[in-house]
Chain A
Amino acid sequence: MNSVTEKPRLLKIHILRFDPHDENDFPHMETFEIEEAHGMTLFVALNEIREHHDNALKFDFVCRAGICGSCSMLVNGRPTLACRTLTKKLDSDITLAPLPLFELIGDLSVNTGTWMRGLNERLETWIHDKEQELNVDKLEEKMEPELADEIYELDRCIECGCCVAGCGTIQMNPDFVGAVGLNKIARYHLDPRDKRSDEDYYELVGDQDGVFGCMTLLGCEDVCPKDLPLQSKIAYLRRMMLRTGLK
């Protein structure tokens, strides 16, 4: 019998709910039952719950295509992008909770934006090149094609926060920059357009809040939805920072 004629599953979606703006509310689990549809993702399922069961249910989706990083949440305890999680890959009992460590806006909606902005400002994640006055009429500076590809590889981070939620170190040290931060340093260090020296980078992450804080549990690498090479980049940065520190 093919899947078209099979009776659809009844999904039981258990959601950790809390509205911090409601003085009488407290964190609690609530279960919604919906019928599974073909090709259903958690994006579809949650919108169905909002439209037909509880219009106050809070969650964040923007691109719903796995590109923008808005919808990370704990799916059965594991941080991931909800929009591209197909329900057919899960049991009929599904537990959803907001991403830990970030400010809760309500239910499954968390404020990753402020956290990421703080990180970017702290690590100055932009090209530092005060020397050069850019003339936009002239040919662009050349770059080796492989190098451009390597930079793009690390530039693919979508700041979804999964690595932060999956990080053991940050649970104990909230000032830890996380894999997202270290990956950004690796990205700019690789980029010849950024004129910061090894010493400059050492100042930024050469300590317990940076690359030496990592306990190497590597939950980050396990949960990264973009499969970034976080493990090897953290190891690389550590060797580089050690060399710089010993200079």
Chain B
Amino acid sequence: MKVIYTDVLIIGGGLAGLRVATGVKERGHNAVVLTLVPPKRSHSSAAQGGMQASLANCYMGEGDNEDVHFTDTIKGSDWGADQEVVRMFTHCAPKAIRELAAWGVPWSRVQRGEHTSIINAKKVKITEKDEAHGLITARDFGGTKKWRTCYTSDGTGHSMLYAMDNKAHEDKVEIHERMEAISLMHEAGRCYGAIARNLMSGELVAYVAKATTIATGGYGRIYSVSTNAIICQGMGQAIALETGIATLGNMEAIQFHPTAIVPVGILTTEGCRGDGGLLLDKDGYRFMPDYEPDKKELASRDVVSRRMTEHMRKGKGVKSRYGDHLWLDITILGREHIEKNLREVKEICENFLGIDPAKEWIPVRPTQHYSMGGIRTTYKGESQTLKGLYSCGEAACWDMHGFNRLGGNSVSETVVSGMLVAEYISDFCDKEESGVNIHGSTIEKFILEEEAKLEALLTKENGEDAYVLRRRMEEIMMDKVGIFRNGKDLQEAVDELEELYKRSKNIEVFRSKSRAANPALVNAYRTQKMLKVALTVAYGALLRTESRGAHSREDYPRRDDANWLNRTITSWPNKDQTMPTVSYENISISNMELPPGFRGYGKDLTDHHPETLMRQHTVDMLRENLERKNASRFEIQNALMPYIDKLPLKYRGKNERLGEKI
């Protein structure tokens, strides 16, 4: 039995995981990172367009600050987000980006003087201030009031991840590559690490730790077409679920990105539209202004994806052998701009479509992209129910995105949540109570359990083919738990998924019986876990009889604050149950800084909660009073919803901006 002890075990080597690792390391705790692939190959690298942080350096970002970023994010979430968490996030995003700048990210910078941008299909002259020259610039993204999305061309995630991994090298963070966590060890309500399987040799290793962090990203690959990397299979959520104690939040909140290329589903960044690109239908007609006259192509992602789908349902899609699609036109941006700021998009178009996007339109359609749901945690990133288990980044639901995430807020979340959670974990590890009190026999029990499961898969006869179950699951999710949902389809989806889950207990690994590197074995155990995750998504979607953010029910088109202003909490307390257990966590209006309102897209279809009016009144009165007394925006904010005490001391300082000295 191989056992490795460390202070902090981090599962996942993307931006969030690495940022936790360097953070705890700097606080004097040992850290081991387990990754499926070398960290620089993580899905973080695929983030193209940028990172939101309210720096307000460029002309179109002037006047931006934490307040504006906060409001955009809450509206984007359709009031599903935790407002205190969003405050913590927007406060720390400028700090995180400045830290990354110091660590080597070559952020694109403001160039003084006049330049031309394309805004609403017209050339517009913009003049940048002298004093902003050389500071980090930003581009426009959907659902934001200001240009706030900072970038390095369209390789933002790549540059961030490389800087972050290099920082981890410098800090001598121990990274164990091709090690897959397959179960969490816990005893007496406390998590003590994980059992991991070496993907090269097949060896099982017990990693015992004071604190365990899951930073494994999303679960997009339960869908047949997703922009996600193929390793985004929800294994982090699954092993948390399998403890029977940890819970998941809002698993049904799935984002579809408007512009993935057809048919392979590779992303073209929102930066295409942010920089002035247009969506066109089969007649070359620009249809978005008809649906969303105000924000047009730059409405929130969930809105644009729905409008595109509606438009295609009217017969306006372009027919292709892979079904209907629409066009993304970036030719109007000009070759020079594309070759400088949209290089990955250009490479993708050339390599996968054989077209030149400076001359030709790109075939696109909405495609699964992001998991708002994940392991439910407190604002400290700790599971609400399993002590010592932490989670951050896309893997978690702490919950800053509610039912829809804004573009540019995901990579931003990875580094911000990573830097915060690292501090909270370090505080925990500094305390005596963090001591490791797991029995050797318990560790052995967990290893033996996993060995037995693998053995069963390899020795089973006349069992099920994992590929067959998995492909069917992917189809069901795609066809019945997609952009538009309805009760009938969802019920069918849940019923069939439960059937598939039952069958998955009988999976047999055909032909390939190796215990070492063996893709068939990997596919077998991951399929069993993915089916559990898929069930939490489909069942949550079936039960939520309202439309909120990316969760859109055709049979319940209204947002129902009176009954559904809550988070879906899913768990799997008993190994033998074949359906997840669902409960709800109320979202309280009484302490909201921004009480529920209308997002400003289409018709207002909100059934308000009786408390909303009252809270809105209180907020208005407080604000009015303080404004009369010339209170600062910080004082007003603090009166409405204090949060600053929740932050680690080192991150409480105000953010300097050109127009806002500290």
Contact = CB atoms under 8 A, between A and B. Distances in A.
A11 to B, nearest CB: 18
Interface stretch (B251-259, B262-270, B286-294, B477-485): B262-270
Contact of B658 (A70, A126, A127, A139): A139
Contacts of A64: 229-230, 264, 266
Interface stretch (A93-101, A129-137, A167-175, A216-224): A129-137
A155 interface: yes
A178 B14 CA distance: 26
B352 A63 contact: no
Contact of B517 (A106, A114, A159): A106
Given A57-B519, A138-B656, A193-B102, A67 B152 contact: no
Interface in B32-80: 37-38, 40-43, 45-46, 55
A149 B351 contact: no
A144 B263 contact: no
B634 interface: no
Contacts of B354: 86
B109 A68 contact: no
Contacts of A144: 109, 134
B195 interface: no
Interface stretch (B169-177, B186-194, B204-212, B601-609): B169-177
B360 to A, nearest CB: 15
A95 to B, nearest CB: 21
Contact of B95 (A109, A129, A137, A191): A137
A145 B351 contact: no
Contacts of B467: 51, 55
Contact of B352 (A39, A62, A159): A39
Interface string A141-181: 11111001101100110110000000000000000000000
Interface string B650-662: 0101111110001
Most chain B CB within 10 A, of A58, A68, A69, A158, is at A68
B292 to A, nearest CB: 29
Contact of A58 (B104, B509, B519): B519
B108 interface: yes
Given A63-B229, A125-B169, A137-B95, A113 B37 contact: yes
A189 to B, nearest CB: 13
A56 B518 contact: yes
Given A113-B38, A121-B169, A66 B347 contact: yes
B111 A145 contact: yes
B108 A149 contact: yes
Contacts of A117: 38, 169, 175, 177
B541 to A, nearest CB: 27
B108 A155 contact: no
Interface residues of B, number: 82
Interface string A38-54: 11010000000011001
A7 B146 CA distance: 52
> Chain A binding site: helix, strand, loop or mixed by DSSP?
loop
B517 A105 contact: yes
A145 B166 CA distance: 23
B507 to A, nearest CB: 12
Interface string B499-522: 000000000011110101111100
B558 interface: no
Given A21-B517, A58-B517, A155 B658 contact: no
Contact of B106 (A66, A69, A151, A158): A151
A65 interface: yes
A116 interface: yes
A209 interface: no
A159 B39 CA distance: 11
Given A137-B654, A145-B110, A152-B153, A69 B40 contact: yes
B282 interface: no
Contacts of A86: 351-352, 354
Contact of B98 (A19, A38, A140): A140
A78 B159 CA distance: 27
B434 interface: no
B200 interface: yes
A156 B105 CA distance: 11
A108 to B, nearest CB: 11
Contacts of A202: none
Nearest to A129: B102
A1 interface: no
Interface string A169-206: 00000000000000000000001011000000000000
B634 to A, nearest CB: 13
B190 to A, nearest CB: 32
B56 to A, nearest CB: 11
Nearest to B199: A105
Contacts of B162: 155
Interface in B393-419: none
Interface string B133-150: 111110000000000000
Contacts of A132: 102
Given A62-B230, A70-B41, A156-B158, A148 B169 contact: no
A92 interface: no
B107 A148 contact: yes
B214 to A, nearest CB: 19
A67 B108 contact: no
Contacts of A139: 98, 135, 656-658
Given A41-B352, A127-B104, A21 B229 contact: no
Given A51-B467, A126-B104, A152 B159 contact: yes
A6 interface: no
A120 interface: yes
Nearest to A70: B41
A238 interface: no
Contacts of A54: 511-512
Contacts of B581: none
Nearest to B137: A145
Contact of B155 (A22, A129, A142, A152): A152
A158 B158 contact: yes
Given A56-B514, A127-B103, A120 B166 contact: yes
B84 interface: no
Nearest to A134: B102
Contact of A63 (B45, B102, B200, B517): B45
A228 to B, nearest CB: 12
Nearest to B513: A56
A137 B662 contact: yes
A36 interface: no
A90 to B, nearest CB: 14
A193 B100 CA distance: 12
B133 A142 contact: yes
A155 B654 contact: no
A66 B159 CA distance: 15
Interface in B205-258: 229-231
B101 A68 contact: no
A137 B229 contact: no
Most chain B CB within 10 A, of A117, A136, A191, is at A136
B340 interface: yes
Most chain A CB within 10 A, of B55, B201, B231, is at B231
Name the 8 nearest CB pairs between A and B, nearest first.
Answer: A142-B134, A113-B38, A56-B512, A55-B520, A21-B516, A136-B95, A151-B106, A84-B351
28 contacts: A21-B517, A39-B263, A51-B467, A55-B512, A56-B512, A56-B518, A56-B519, A62-B41, A64-B264, A66-B348, A67-B45, A67-B344, A68-B43, A106-B517, A109-B517, A111-B178, A112-B38, A125-B166, A136-B96, A136-B653, A137-B653, A138-B662, A141-B101, A142-B134, A152-B106, A155-B155, A155-B162, A156-B158
